Amino acid sequence: MSSSTSTTPFFSDVPDGRLETIKEKQERKEALIKQCLLILVIFADQGKELVSTTQLRSLLKKTTPLSDYDKVVTPGDDVTRFERSVRNLISHNDLLKLGLAKSYKKTMKDSLTYLKLTVAGRAFLLDSFLDMLKFPLIADLEKKEPLVTVDLNGAYNKTKEGLLETASLLALAQLQKQSKTGKVSLLLWQRALKKTEVFSVDDVRQLQLGSNFIDTEIFLKSRWIRRFGEDFQLTSRGKAELLKPFMQIIPKPELDGLSVSNRTEDLKKQKIKDNRKLKMS
């Protein structure tokens, strides 16, 4: 399946003659964070885990479709609204403060700062895209009538284990997002998988789903979920794992032909050298 790319304007237009509302500013910030994380995860999955803040600014500018509002250079500034938003996000260290990325230096004297996506960053990205599948509400799951199919669009390893694993984690993630406590009972979790018809008829026959078909022990050992009595919760590690197949259906910035320096090994070696110098001093 080919990657989806975003070609529509990244931010909504704001009518001339008025300022952004607080809600619009927050939505702008969240959209920008998502775009940053998408760039970081795409390169990380290619083995390029470190992206400098300078490179990130450049990549955002090249890959983000903008509305007319964001292309305007505001009075008293020398950059567009979008570029100002990017500068503020990076200079205020928002990704670091939220725990979505970590910063690194190539050397102690290096002026460049490199960002590396964290497990929490992957989890945040998954949560932000879960609504794409239009999962039923918990209240609807309690009804007896059949519900609409949730199409995974091939976002799983189509084997018995891969299909069940991905669908199970996806159902838990969706239910957890709706739950007021952030926890989900095993009964509701199982019901969600069956009632939403995540599986086709052939898939159901292949998997031979019984009454207790979710293997919670495997997920617990992998630390993808945690147990609270009779309830369960998907961990950040579990969300990060689920993001891998989910990335196949997420609209992504077009990065073909664009690259970043792969400094991972250099940084590891330099860190060892710097630690040795510190011990000797």
- Rg, the chain, Cα only: 22
Strand order in the sheet with 225-228: 184-185, 231-234, 225-228
Q: Which has the closest alpha carbon to 248: 1, 38, 37, 42?
A: 1
Listed by start position, the domains of the chain span 1-117, 125-246
In CATH, which of 1.10.10, 2.60.120, 1.10.3470, 1.10.357 is domain 1-117?
1.10.10
Is the model more confident about 162 or about 241?
241
In the predicted model, what is the mean pLDDT of residues 154-169? 64
pLDDT of res. 167: 80
Give the whole-number percent of the chain exceeding pLDDT 70: 69
55: which 2 tokens?
Answer: 């490179």
Give every CB contact of residue 138 below 8 A, 6+ residues apart in sequence.
175, 178, 179, 188
Q: Are strands 101-104 and 114-117 parallel, antiparallel or unpaired?
A: antiparallel
Distances (CA, A) of 88 to 34, 82, 94, 110: 15, 10, 9, 21
Output the pLDDT for position 149.
Answer: 52
The mean pLDDT value for 256-269 works out to 55
pLDDT tens string 19-41: 678 887 888 889 899 999 999 99
pLDDT tens track for 165-210: 788 888 899 899 999 999 999 988 888 877 655 544 455 444 444 4
Between these two residues, 157 and 125, which has the higher pLDDT value?
125
Q: What's the sign of the alpha-carbon dihedral 200, 206, 211, 213?
A: negative
Query: What is the rounded average pLDDT of the residues 90-103?
Result: 95
Q: In which band, very low, low, confident or very high, does the pLDDT at 237 lie, cut at 50, 70 and 90?
A: very high
